[in-house]
Structures are given as structure tokens and as C-alpha cells.
């Protein structure tokens, strides 16, 4: 299991590689999978804004490409941005695909201030096939 400082370091290293020429808003993320493996990701902007990929999704895609993805495999996500920012709706949805209600989401700034959420707090009524919406 990675320590929070280890996840933070990986997210900061990834953030340094972010490609953000349009917004100048660099984001780095680290994801820890159920088997303890950790992957980093950075945001990659594109002049056609919808083609931009967020750091959180970049890290998750790296985990999937390494054969570590699947339902319930996302354990923790650490995101670093200045100013501190919660993941966008698209990232929350992708986290919901691979995480559980208890997946820990840590958002931080480069000064080290952090807030911790569960995926259920950030995505309380996520879409799942076969879910009973009355629950």
C-alpha cells in the first residue's frame, strides 16, 4: 500500500509533465489500485477542448493499459492542482466505473493543503446498469 506522501510525490511528478498551453492549469494525479500498484497521470489539453484528457482519467487509463483495471479495482486517487479542485463530472464517472463507494479521493494543492472524500460523496447517485434507484 502506498503512503499518502508517495501518492502525492507521484501526482506532483505527473503534474510537472502536464500539457496545458491553453489554460495553464496543470493537474497531476496518482491512482492506487487494489493490488497496490500506483500509476500517475497528467492533464493533456487540446485546441479542440473536448479532446482534452484530465489527469485522473490519464492515470486510470494507464492502470487499465497495464492490465490493472476492472470493476472495484480503484482504491485511492490523489489529485494535485493550483488552486485545489475537485474532479470534473467525467472523471467522477470514470472513477465510478473502476472504484467503489469507499474509494478515497484526495484533492490537494502544491502547498500541501488536502481534502479527502469518498467516491460516494463526490458521485452520490452514479449510473449503474441494474441499480435500484429507490435505494
List all residues 6 or more positions away from 130 whose beta carbon is below 8 Å from its beta carbon: none
Distance of alpha carbon 66 from alpha carbon 75, whole angstroms: 16
Q: Are strands 104-108 and 114-118 parallel, antiparallel or unpaired?
A: antiparallel
114 flagged as catalytic: no
DSSP state for residue 49 in the 8-state scheme = G
Catalytic residue among 56, 97, 104, 114: 56
Distance of alpha carbon 135 from alpha carbon 123, whole angstroms: 15
Active site (catalytic) residues: 56
Amino acid at each position: 500500500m502506498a503512503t499518502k506522501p508517495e501518492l502525492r510525490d507521484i501526482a506532483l511528478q505527473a503534474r510537472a509533465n502536464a500539457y496545458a498551453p491553453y489554460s495553464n492549469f496543470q493537474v497531476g494525479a496518482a491512482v492506487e489500485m487494489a493490488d497496490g500498484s500506483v500509476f500517475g497521470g497528467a492533464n493533456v489539453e487540446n485546441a479542440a477542448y473536448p479532446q482534452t484528457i484530465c489527469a485522473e482519467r490519464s492515470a486510470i487509463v494507464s492502470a487499465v493499459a497495464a492490465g490493472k483495471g476492472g470493476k472495484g479495482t480503484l482504491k485511492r486517487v490523489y489529485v494535485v492542482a493550483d488552486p485545489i479542485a475537485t474532479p470534473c463530472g467525467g472523471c467522477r464517472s470514470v472513477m465510478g466505473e473502476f472504484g467503489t463507494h469507499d474509494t478515497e479521493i484526495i484533492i490537494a494543492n502544491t502547498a500541501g493543503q488536502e481534502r479527502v472524500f469518498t467516491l460516494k460523496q463526490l458521485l452520490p447517485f452514479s449510473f449503474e446498469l441494474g441499480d435500484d434507484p429507490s435505494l
